[in-house]
Structure 1
Amino acid sequence: MQDNLLWQYSLAVYRRPDVAPLLIALQDHDNADVNILLSCGWLGTQGQCLSLEHLQQLITITTPWQEQCVQPLRAIRRFLTDSDDDAFREQVKRLEIDAELRQQNLIYQQLQSLTLCTADPAKAMIDNLDLYGSQLAATDREKLLTDLTRLAALIK
Structure 2
Amino acid sequence: MSDPNAKANQGVMLENDLWSFATRVYAAPEVAAACLAAQDDYSIDVNLLLYGAWLGKSGKRLDKTHFDEAETRVAHWRQRSVQPLRRVRRYLKEVPGAEALRQRVLELELSAEQHQLGLLYAGAGKANGLSEAGNALAQNLRLVFSVTAGESPVWESLFQRLLAALSGVAETETQ
Same fold at TM > 0.5: yes
The 5 Å alignment of 1:73-88 reads 73-83=85-95, 84-88=97-101
**Structure number having the greater helix percentage:** 1
Distance in 2 (CA, whole Å) between partners of 1:141 and 1:88 is 39
Distance in 2 of aligned mates of 1:91 and 1:29: 26
Please list every run of 5 or more consecutive structure 2 residues that lacks an aligned counterpart in the other structure.
Answer: 1-12, 168-175
Q: Which residue of 2 aligns with 1:116?
A: 130
Q: Secondary structure at the match of 1:118?
A: coil
* Separation (CA, whole Å) in 2 of partners of 1:17 and 1:119: 26
Counterpart amino acid of 1:5?
Answer: D
Say whether 1:69 aligns with 2:72.
no
Bigger mean CA deviation after superposition, 61-70 or 144-153: 144-153
Identity of aligned residues (%): 35
Deviation at 1:106, TM superposition (A): 0.4
Aligned residue in 1 for 2:50? 38
> Are the aligned partners of 1:130 and 1:145 in contact in 2 as well (CA < 8 Å)?
no
Counterpart check, 1:151 vs 2:165: no
The within-5 A match list for 1:1-156 is: 1=13, 3-83=15-95, 84-114=97-127, 115-120=129-134, 123-138=135-150, 141-156=152-167
Q: Which runs of 5+ in 1 are unaligned?
A: none
- The residue type equivalent to 1:110 in the other structure is G
TM-score by length of 1: 0.92
Q: How far is the alpha carbon of 1:8 from its aligned partner?
A: 0.6
Compute the TM-score of the two structures, normalised by the length of structure 2. 0.82
Please report how far the alpha carbon of residue 68 of structure 1 lies from its aligned counterpart in structure 2 after TM superposition: 0.7
How many residues end up aligned between the 2 structures? Answer: 153
Give CA-to-partner distance per residue, 1:60-114, whole Å, 9 cap, x none. Answer: 1111111110000000000001221221111100000000000000000001233
| C-alpha RMSD of matched pairs (Å) | 1.5
Q: Give the aligned residue type for 1:99.
A: A
Q: Following TM superposition, where does structure 1 have runs of at least 4 consecutive aligned residues deviating by more than 3 angstroms?
A: none
